[in-house]
Amino acid sequence: MAESEPLVVVSVADGIGRLRLNRADKRNALNEEMSDQVLHAMQELELDDAVVCIVIEGTDGAFCAGADMAEANAAYEAGRHRFNPSAYAAARVGSANKPVVAAIDGPAYGAGALLACSCDIRIASDRARFRFPGSEYGLVVGAHALPSLVGGPMAKELIFTGRVVDAEEAARIGLVNRTVPAEEFEAAVESVASAIAASSPLALEWSKRTINTAITGGNALAVEQQADLLLRGGPDHKVRFGAATKRVTGR
């Protein structure tokens, strides 16, 4: 990668905003500069009304190898004991109002696995691999996100052992929504993202808010009722519902 190339590349087309990690020589390991660029890119995509769905992807057969260990170790040696920029990047992705799809083609380790878990939907190629090695390094990484995806006992196994999870197992235990052969990967990601992008942005935002509230044990019914009060009868609902009615009834 040339020095002048950005570490994060953003593009928008057909309602889909793509955030591509672009540090292939380091298997897209998150350093401080790349993490900052993820924050700015997410802000840009969230503020863009043309973007309905966000896709986060890697390059050259790697999603994200994790945090930049050399940079982190240098920061610790310099006395920056709270140095953890990759956590801010993952947290920003997780706080997005718009749906976020992780397109995982290759390793997603440590902070990279956490970044994937921070997305709403995970599509993996059969080359994908996951690992949560935090406990090996004396850290807790991903323990808050994993239980809602794979359940408590499996989350404990993956966190406690730090073992590698291949793409087939990831789909079986619910770590990813689906695993597809490498040759079908791009089409599968495009299919999911396009289906999301065709939906109502307002309905997607409120659906995500309701589901997240349910996952975290909040009053999801109250949130859904609030959404109904705000959306039902509004211009977006009327146009979309009217079009759907014509398709179904022919009038």
pLDDT of residue 3: 52
Q: What is the pLDDT of residues 200-214, one digit of tens each?
A: 999 999 999 999 999
Handedness of CA 46, 9, 188, 142 (dihedral sign): negative
> Mean pLDDT over residues 46-66, rounded?
96
**What Rg do the C-alpha atoms of the chain give, in angstroms?**
19
pLDDT of residue 165: 98
Does the pLDDT value for residue 115 go beyond 60? yes
Q: Return the domain boundaries, the chain.
A: 8-197, 201-249
* Highest CATH level, class, for 8-197: alpha beta
Rounded to the nearest integer, the mean pLDDT of the chain is 95
> Mean pLDDT over residues 10-17, rounded?
98
Angle formed by the axes of helices 235-249 and 201-215, to 10°? 100
- What residues contact 166, with CB distance under 8 A and at least 6 apart? 128, 129
For residue 6, CA distances in Å to 34, 54, 62, 105, 236 come to 8, 18, 17, 20, 37
Banded pLDDT at 83 (limits 50, 70, 90):
confident
Backbone φ, ψ for residue 53 (5° rounding): -130, 140
Banded pLDDT at 121 (limits 50, 70, 90):
very high
pLDDT of residue 127: 96
> Mean pLDDT over residues 32-55, rounded?
98
Residue 103 and residue 61: Cα distance in Å, rounded? 11
Banded pLDDT at 81 (limits 50, 70, 90):
confident
Residue 163 and residue 25: Cα distance in Å, rounded? 24
Q: What is the pLDDT of residues 137-174, one digit of tens each?
A: 999 999 999 999 999 999 999 999 999 999 999 999 99
Distance of alpha carbon 96 from its chain centroid, rounded?
9
Distance of alpha carbon 159 from its chain centroid, rounded?
19
In terms of Cα–Cα distance, which of 39, 25, 26, 1 is closest to 109?
26
Does the pLDDT value for residue 97 go beyond 90? yes
